[in-house]
A = this chain, B = another copy of it.
Amino acid sequence: MKNSIYFDISKNELEAKKRLFDRVTKEREYIGYYDLPFQDTQNLKKLEKSLDASIDTVVVVGIGGSSLGTKAIYEFLKPANHLKRKLIFLESTDPLNLTNHIREIEFEKSHFLIISKSGTTIETISIFKYLYSLNNDAKKYTFITDPDSPLEDFAKSIDASYCNIPKNVGGRFSALSSVGLLPLLCAGINVDALLKGAKEIADGFFQEQLIKDHLIDKALFYAKNYTTYHINCIFAYSEALKYFCEWYVQLWGESLGKKQKSSAINVGLTPVGLIGPKDQHSFLQLLIEGTRDKSATFIKIDDFKDDLVIPDISLKHLEKLDDINGLKFHKLINMQCESTLEALQQHEDIPLDAITIQSIDEESMGKLIYYYELLTSLVGILIDVDTYDQPGVEKGKTILQNKIKKAQL
């Protein structure tokens, strides 16, 4: 993984960098996600091994932090790999969506992971109740939840298997905890390689200082300029990174959109996820000619390990396009990435950087996830918010509970 920064970081002071590093090191003592790359996964592997050989589909029932990370990793790896089992995600209360997904499921060959950190997520429990009404065999279900949550108690009461999420790991930072690892293990994904990638970034940052300066410089720039560049775009050149972008939107938006701790002023950085080349035909115009309130990070895959080629066919009246003949598609898509970046570089007031990941494999994704988690934590410290809570969404939940009570009277 290589990150090239094209904005000016020379003005970042050493004192500020040191202080930030000290603060994030301190935060690591009580925030759990930092040490997930070093966890013991034996228990999760045992759980996966206990699944019957006939199970070919694992249904992940969870919403937000309970599904976005898993989906990001699974959908990234799926196009390039023959996976052991299929994952199906149930994450909406939309009845048509639910019905259509459930129609796909063969209960005989499926196992269900019910994931809720609090154990009382209304969407997840609603969907679980529906599934449970169709099949109430406790062996069909594994629950992933906080220690001592009502959902753990329920799992114990029906003698179903369960595993815990560490209390100090927040939902949107839980991709590399049991929340992500168990479903990914079920799909046959190499979670050791995933954690190895994350570990490399963690060690590079906290110990070897390989990436430390880099990440700290980037965070300082984003934080210093957040009132100007408060929209942060990821422009990723592969359809496989579509759900990574969705994961990023939650991580960035929900962590950094807050009242400031000291002032209670509303602050926030708005994430936008873009996929190239498709969004060259959609959002790019706004990025190039719109208000100068956006930064953009380009992500490309160095080696697609694919040789699909544009055939050497000349089409009458379209001879002007013969230059593409014989070009490999993976070369074309990376050239599209570079061309868009270069076009944007002609505007000095758009902060740009580029990340190149090695290939479509577990290690690359582990790195990318940990890198973005770390960046989020660093910016959160600098803009003075509590990166790990989400108090804003509670009000709507209370209103909903009252509405439901009223409707049932």
Main secondary structure of the interface of A (DSSP, over half): helix
Contact of A125 among B95, B324, B343 (CB under 8 A): B324
- A342 touching B396, Cβ below 8 Å: yes
Within 8 A of B (CB), among A315-363: 315-318, 320-321, 323-333, 335-336, 338-340, 342-344, 346, 360
- Report if A323-B404 is in contact (Cβ < 8 Å); known contacts: A99-B308, A336-B93: yes
Q: Please tell me if the beta carbons of A332 and B257 are within 8 angstroms of each other in the complex.
A: no
Give per-residue flags for A390-409: 1 if the beta carbon is below 8 A from chain B beta carbons, else 0. Answer: 11110111011101110110
Q: Which of A44-52, A128-136, A173-181, A195-203 contacts B (4 or more CB under 8 A)?
A: A128-136
A404 partner, pick from B94, B129, B291, B335, beta carbons under 8 A: B335
Which residues in chain A, 216-263, are within 8 Å of chain B measured between CB atoms?
Answer: 230-231, 237-240, 246, 249-250, 253-254, 256-259
Decide yes or no: A290 and B249 within 8 Å by CB, A282-B68, A323-B404 being known contacts: no
Say whether A304 contacts B95, CB under 8 Å.
yes
From B270, B306, B395, B407, contact of A335 by CB (8 A)? B407
**A28 CB–B CB distance under 8 Å:** no
Q: Does A382 contact B (CB under 8 A)?
A: no
Task: List the number of copies, as a whole number.
Answer: 2
Q: Tell me if A204 counts as interface (CB < 8 A to partner B).
A: no
Residues in B neighbouring A99, C-beta threshold 8 A: 306, 308
Taking residues whose C-beta sits less than 8 angstroms from the other chain, chain A's interface range is 35 or more
Q: Given A68-B282, A122-B321, A306-B95, A267 and B240 touching (CB < 8 A)?
A: no
Say whether B331 contacts A407, CB under 8 Å: yes
Residues of chain B lying within 8 A (CB to CB) of residue A10: none
Residues of B within 8 A of A343 (CB): 395-396, 399
Given A99-B306, A120-B320, A399-B342: A333 and B94 interface contact (C-beta under 8 Å): yes
